[in-house]
Structure 1
């Protein structure tokens, strides 16, 4: 059995004297620590500290001498253990993420964007070079008719005509695909 508090140390602890509390801690904390370790608590030292932090302000109210003090401390320890296990049950299990084990499959935003452009790219490739260039500069690059005319060294009227013909050809290609799909 662990050491026993002297009557003087017990009286000092119950009177709230620091030396008395130090003696209580030195003599009883190893038993509380062993109790937590025997019950499988990972951070037994931390939980032991929590017990004595709770016990300190309540020491003056303890009755029953040595046995009463020991019973009180272990009742606090038991309550802390129950709280610890309840908290552990409610805490979700955290596992490290390993991308190699992840069976979910989702395309990246880039893949989706390029995939949605895939059909459009195919349709654009069926236009003549000038129509394709005008549509890409106007729609994708978001340039004005005047800007596209300057880049392609054509008049704004010619760019408008190429754009109109290119959009008309794209509409026909998309309509053709829709009819083929149904």
Structure 2
């Protein structure tokens, strides 16, 4: 669980240090290999957690392919640290979908509802899910969400993209991504609360 908590913290740290990330990317574009390694360390934890939702145990291999493409096309990138995180997430998602197509498989349940209904307000369930998202258990629960919700939650909370950037990665409207992320966080909070609630099953087993 400690490793999962570290992944969530590392991703949020990468978001907080976008200025450092942008500077590292600029140096890497000038040929500084050490700077590229800095950018990799800031981006990789959240990217890997996102890819695990798409391709499971093959996330490391897909991430490696994505980073090879990132390194190859680095000179073409234009943007800041936040833009680089969005760019790498887009590359990683394309590589993951290519991988799934090669396996003759598709992500489950990617379709959004035609109309967004009521959005949960900025209440404690959202905050609870945000705080818990870094744990290995919470990440496992995220992978059980509908695909649109899982991707939106991971791109927003773990990779650290803002709404418009996440929408560009997913080729969806920002409002749809915001809705999916809120619904996913609300469902995640409910699942976490249910897991913590006593079930009384132990007593029933003893009676049986």
Which of 1 and 2 has greater Rg?
1
TM-score by length of 1: 0.45
Q: 1 or 2 for the larger relative contact order (CA 8 Å, sep ≥6)?
A: 2
| TM-score, scaled to structure 2 | 0.40
